[in-house]
Amino acid sequence: MRRLIWVFAFLGMICHGPISAAEDPPFYVVTLGTGIPLPNPARGTASTLIVAGDRTVLIDTGRRVLENLVAAGFQSATFVVFTHFHSDHISDFGEYMVNRGVDGVDVAQRILGPAGTQSLVDDFLKVYSRDTQYRVDHHHEHWPTNAMKADVKECTPGVILDENGLKITMFDVDHEPIVPAVGYRIGFAGKSIVVSGDTKAIPKMTEMAKGADILVHEAMNAAMLENPRRMLQQTDPRRAAMLDDMMSHHSNTLEIAAIARDAQVKKLVLTHLVPSIAPNDAAERAFVQGMAEVYSGEIIVARDGLKITP
Ligand SMILES: [Zn+2]
Ligand SMILES: [Zn+2]
């Protein structure tokens, strides 16, 4: 029995990391998924993990969220938070929930998000209802019955959580025609991390990111898209029009640099990369071209699994 307790204590250290009382509690971000709907073997789609002490906030659950979450040292999160319901932000939510059952988590998942979150979650759980029944029939009382349950709070912009030093503020962004679409500012231990969600460059972001330690912003390099755009206009006008639609509701890198400068953020992290570049130094240098002339702080082009501390 004692040996078993040690095994569980060790597993607990792996899952949550040892926390020393003498040190500041950990507060950092891991860009779990940094890609876009177009498949890129090197990138999952949107999901960002914030670690705040012994709690975790998982913002969006895009493709490969689970693999990247496990690689970051976690099996599940205290809170799941949605920015909006484009498929690249939600697609692996069901798999994330099933893994809670395998991991033995027997409490409902706390979920926060804008209007529509409850029905999204209900729909996912309905799709997975047969699977849940198979597992109950197969594992009987060993299957944690609360694993596939959700405790959802639909929120409007403002402070949506203020609990034991962890504060989450939701704000509207502009991802027209997708409404609602929101971003979040997470405060903990005197520091703050802002996650933009999907949006055009908006003055609201400058306001909400004011003085933030880290701004994680979606990013599009319009100059890199210019050649493919011109080519498509010649060869495939339908796809060229769709590319224009896409470009009209994301933020250009130089606009993001201006936001980071005006908001005086300490570090800028670019994610949700359009185009979905290879995760190498040359491509990243090209992606941020011109930004340093606008913003003098550190600019980081995210890769899947990258940990950034304030
Ligand atoms: Zn979107
Ligand atoms: Zn997206």
| CATH number, residue 213 | 3.60.15.10
Structural domain includes residue 244: yes
Tokens matching residue 262:
């005006």
User: Is the dihedral angle over the CA atoms 172, 150, 80, 88 positive or is it negative?
Assistant: negative
Q: Residue 177: is the preceding peptide bond cis (ω within 30°)?
A: yes
| Integer Cα distance of 265 and 214 in angstroms | 6
Structural domain includes residue 19: no
Residue 257's pLDDT is: 98
Residue 24's pLDDT is: 87
Given the residues 60, 88, 213, 304, the one annotated as active site: 88
| Integer Cα distance of 162 and 58 in angstroms | 16
CB 123 within 8 A of CB 82: no
| Integer Cα distance of 67 and 57 in angstroms | 16
Structural domain includes residue 14: no
Q: Ligand 2 centroid vs 87 CA: distance in angstroms?
A: 8
Residues 95-125: tens digit of each pLDDT: 999 999 999 999 999 999 999 999 999 999 9
Residue 4's pLDDT is: 46
Closest residue by Cα to residue 192 from 73, 57, 71: 57
Structural domain includes residue 161: yes
Q: Ligand 1 centroid vs 38 CA: distance in angstroms?
A: 13
Q: 246 is in which domain, residue-wise?
A: 24-308
Structural domain includes residue 17: no
Collapse the DSSP code of 305 into the 3-class scheme (helix H, G, I; strand E, B; otherwise coil) and give the result: coil
Q: Ligand 2 centroid vs 86 CA: distance in angstroms?
A: 6
Structural domain includes residue 15: no
Q: Ligand 1 centroid vs 219 CA: distance in angstroms?
A: 12
Residues 55-105: tens digit of each pLDDT: 999 999 999 999 999 999 999 999 999 999 999 999 999 999 999 999 999
| Number of domains forming the structure of the chain | 1
β-sheet bridge partners, residue 39 = none
Collapse the DSSP code of 270 into the 3-class scheme (helix H, G, I; strand E, B; otherwise coil) and give the result: strand
Structural domain includes residue 73: yes
| Integer Cα distance of 226 and 153 in angstroms | 42
Closest residue by Cα to residue 48 from 85, 80, 19: 80
Task: For 84-142, give the DSSP string.
Answer: ---HHHHTTHHHHHHHHHHHT--SPEEEEESTTHHHHHHHHHHHTHHHHHHHHHHHGGG
CB 82 within 8 A of CB 115: no
> Is 122 a residue of the active site?
no
Ion ligand 2: residues, CB within 5 A, are 86, 88, 198
Q: Which ligand is nearest to the CA of 62?
A: 2
Q: Ligand 1 centroid vs 250 CA: distance in angstroms?
A: 8
Ion ligand 1: residues, CB within 5 A, are 86, 198
**Sheet of strand 306-308: strand arrangement:** 150-154, 109-113, 79-81, 55-59, 47-52, 27-33, 306-308
Per-10-residue mean pLDDT for the chain, 310 residues long? 45 47 86 97 98 98 98 98 98 98 96 98 98 95 96 98 98 96 98 98 98 98 94 94 91 98 98 97 97 98 98
Kindly give the pairing relationship between strand 109-113 and strand 150-154: parallel
Structural domain includes residue 96: yes
